[in-house]
Chain A
Amino acid sequence: MKRFKLPVNVLPIWPALGIVLAVGWITVTIDGGSFFTSSNMTNILQRSVALGIVAVGQTVAILVGSLDLSVAYLISLSSLVAAETMDGKESMLVPAIALTLALGAGVGLVNGLVVTKLRVNAFIATLGMALVLKGYLADNYSRPSGEVSETWKSFGYTRMGPVPVSIFLFVGVALVVGFVLRRTRWGYHVYAVGGDEPVSALSGLRTHRVVIGAHVLCSVAAALTGLFLASRLGSGTPRVGTDGGYDLESIAAVVLGGTALVGGKGRVNGTVAAVLVLAVLDNVFNQLEVDPFLKQALRGVVIIAAVALYARRRLVAREEETSAPPVETTGPTEVVPA
């Protein structure tokens, strides 16, 4: 049986992105709108940045066999810490960035330690962290607070021609994380631990360190997202993370990008494509003025359908494997039945 097969290195989400773009273009054009304009493309890219950065971090957490539900609250807190530390002063720009990233690293460290040393399931551990952060935010903030410096504010809006500068942040994070995963020993270990922790441990890997490192990276990415959103909004906002739904959206993007939820398999570029798919969908729905609730429902359907397709691909692949002629048993070689 011949079947169209993608080249090994192209994840199916990239052609899917092409299809979504084409369908979006057609429907928007029929609707009388314009799709492939530079302002609209800019808009799509701009909207991908925040989800993109946090989703790249989430990819690492999921690859190692864990996951992080605390990113949304961490994003909110990061935006506040960044804006309040800057307080509109240029001189505080670098310290504020450093402090925010350190906050992210700290949260990731705690997540990782709880998951590995206390053996709390990652779902519960990071949900717990989410609740802790939520409580802190609710207790201390009810409205936007702080003010980012002018340079940082301009970072969120500057463009080079049609390309928003902030897109480089997303692309940069994706490239660096992708490179780390594919080229460094640590990256290899992330795949190994996520693939099979006992096997990795038997091969002498210090699996806990790998998991903790992945959580730190994931949380730092969330903190970076918080920094970026603070730049867009000009101040810190206690609900910016949860309003964006970055916890579940980032996980959805990772899975949509072809990363196995059980870990050990997947790539950053799949997540990038998935983030773009979600952004294009959003854009198309907005242009068509789809009812916001229906829009949510449609996104849900798209995600479920995509994951169902992945499951089907795997099933088909497995059946092709097992439908090969059965291996002859070894016959008269055994003396005592096992």
Chain B
Amino acid sequence: MTEAPLLEMRGITKAFLGSVVLSEVDLTCVAGEVHAVVGENGAGKSTLMKVLAGAYQPDAGEVLVEGEARSFHHPVQAQAAGVAIIYQEFNLLPERSVAENVFVGREPARLGLVDRRRMEADTARLLAELGERSFSPRSRVGDLSVAQQQVVEVVKARSLDARILVMDEPTASLADEEASALLDLVRRLRDGGMAVLYISHRMPEVFAVADRVTVLKDGRLVETLAVADTTPSQLVAKMVGRELDGYVPPRATDTELGDVRLAVRGGGNRALDGIDLEVRAGEIVGIGGLQGAGRTELARAVFGADPFTRGTVEIDGIERRLGSPRDGISAGLGFITEDRKEEGLALSQSVRDNALLGLRSTRRRHNGRDALVEELATSTELRAKSLDQEVRFLSGGNQQKVVLAKWLALDPGVLLFDEPTRGIDVGAKAAIHDLMRGLARSGKAVVMVSSELPELIGMSDRIVVMREGRVAGELPGGATEQEVIALAAGSDPVLAHDEPARERGAQPAPRSGAGSEVGDET
């Protein structure tokens, strides 16, 4: 480790529209090292990687590869310098073969004709080095599993002679077995002299595979430390350990709760099973759980977007069959979706048109609508130049208020919020939280899906934690982050994984001798 580190990032700072997402972050990575980058959502992990990839230009700081300052203005430049990135969304062409994907843009040619045989032989050799036998260079990428596609990305990186490989949440959509095979692969790449930056927030993986770990929190570097010198619970504390800054409105008292407005009994569909859920007037029920646990799916099922195929849904004591969003709306549901730009707003239309969208699509009467919009704009404290302004010019917080106004225009009894404050700055967040609490207090039943623990814990009167499409359990408002995580993960992961990490990683049987082959190659 005496030579210059393969990769060094110094004082990387990046802001978007005045909101600082990275502030003076340093990171070094040497050859033959797996360096994990951990942090909560919004900690700046992905932004840091995009700076490295050349997708973003940092506002300050520099990137050095093998001691030499480089500035990447296009991903292709980063690629040429030996940096390969595997994003969660793969950069692959599903209709083309594995070999065609690996060599896209660099097809070996003889006399102007693509040398398919060489391309496939080279790909086969790279696949063999990685011990991958489940598919061939001729397989169509669209037919491969996510895990296999990931291997294609790795092969592509290796064929580019990448020395620095960045993997962004590589196991996010993998099954257990696939994930451990991937960790195996990462180790072999490391042993072959690659520097691997491994972005994850899954502690067991980090401890299984990483040599060092860098913790980011709120865009700042917390610490870089050797994995051997720490424990998962210490790391988690560094990641989440923060004051509950933000203001949270007070919870409902028992006297404020009214009748049950939403009741789901035995609800299930392809993603969900055995869902029992009751939400009373005046109550905010938080839905927590890990990614893929079925939180959004639950909200969508209740709303009728991906309907329940089993069980019953009662709204205000009346059983309803909700087979489409239109059914949901007429039953008195409102659904503030996770992605407001894609699913919540018609971006190029005015505030007024957006606010009236739901009303116009479901009701006939046309009286008093302008007055209604004015009233909603006031009650949501919407800040727009005029009601005729196009919503794409509004800030995230104000856009969210327009979405909310759209639903309030329909006067729903039950409001489903999916990540209500994602991508919204702190001040506007508090305003949205206040609005939500106000709505509950006015007698509405509120369901809030959130992956931000402080929000989930701070806002909810009760927290329903999901796991693998089922309700894992329920916690009172104000539960600790640890309690929520324990329920979400199905055990007490923090305690369970406190043992030394290396052994856990060694579980998957290493594939025969492939590791040394990787080493020989580079």
Residues of A within 8 A of B (CB): 183-185, 187-189, 191-192, 195-196, 199-200, 202-205, 264-265, 326-338
Contact = CB atoms under 8 A, between A and B. Distances in A.
Given A185-B114, A203-B106, A333-B204, 10 more contacts: A185-B112, A200-B104, A203-B91, A203-B104, A329-B293, A335-B201, A335-B236, A335-B239, A336-B240, A336-B453
A332 B76 contact: no
B304 interface: no
B290 A334 contact: yes
A334 to B, nearest CB: 5
Contacts of B169: 338
B468 A329 contact: yes
Contacts of B107: 185, 188
Q: Among the interface residues A188, A332, A338, which one has the most CB atoms of the partner chain B within 10 A?
A: A332
B100 interface: yes
B67 interface: no
Contacts of A202: 75-76, 91
Nearest to B85: A202
A4 B105 CA distance: 36
Given A188-B114, A202-B75, A332 B490 contact: yes
B291 A338 contact: yes
A203 B201 contact: no
Interface string B91-121: 1111110001000111101001110100000
B103 to A, nearest CB: 8
B181 interface: no
Contacts of B270: 326
A18 B203 CA distance: 60
Nearest to B496: A332
15 contacts: A184-B113, A202-B76, A327-B173, A327-B175, A327-B178, A330-B179, A332-B496, A333-B489, A334-B493, A335-B485, A335-B493, A336-B485, A337-B288, A337-B291, A338-B201
A204 B451 contact: no
Contact of B41 (A184, A200, A265, A338): A338
A195 B142 CA distance: 12
Given A183-B114, A203-B91, A204-B79, A191 B96 contact: yes
* B interface residue count range (under 10 / 10 to 19 / 20 to 34 / 35 or more): 35 or more
Contacts of B41: 336, 338
Q: Among the interface residues B105, B114, B493, which one has the most CB atoms of the partner chain A within 10 A?
A: B105
Nearest to B103: A188
Nearest to B140: A8
A332 B497 CA distance: 10
B91 A337 contact: no
B479 to A, nearest CB: 14
A184 B205 CA distance: 43
B278 interface: no
A337 B453 contact: yes
Contacts of A192: 93, 96, 100, 104-105
A111 B89 CA distance: 32
Contacts of A326: 270
Given A335-B236, A337-B288, A196 B489 contact: no
A314 to B, nearest CB: 11
A217 to B, nearest CB: 16
Contacts of A331: 176, 468, 489-490
Interface of B: 40-41, 75-76, 79, 91-96, 100, 104-107, 109, 112-114, 116, 169, 171-176, 178-179, 201-205, 232, 236, 239-240, 270, 288-293, 451, 453, 468, 485, 488-491, 493-494, 496
A192 B105 CA distance: 9
B142 to A, nearest CB: 9
A333 B485 CA distance: 11
Nearest to A326: B270
A292 to B, nearest CB: 39
Contact of B92 (A199, A329, A336): A199
Given A199-B93, A264-B93, A329-B292, A336 B236 contact: yes
A195 B94 contact: yes
A327 to B, nearest CB: 4
Nearest to B497: A335
Contacts of B100: 188, 191-192
A338 B109 contact: no
Contact of A338 (B96, B172, B179): B172
Contacts of A188: 100, 104, 107, 114
Contacts of B489: 331-335
B76 A328 contact: no
A55 B104 CA distance: 27
Contacts of B114: 183-185, 187-188
A204 B106 contact: yes
Nearest to B295: A337
A198 to B, nearest CB: 8
B292 A264 contact: no
B93 A330 contact: no
Contacts of A336: 40-41, 201, 236, 239-240, 453, 485
Contacts of A199: 91-93, 104
Contacts of A185: 107, 109, 112, 114
B468 A337 contact: no
Nearest to A198: B91
A185 B110 CA distance: 10
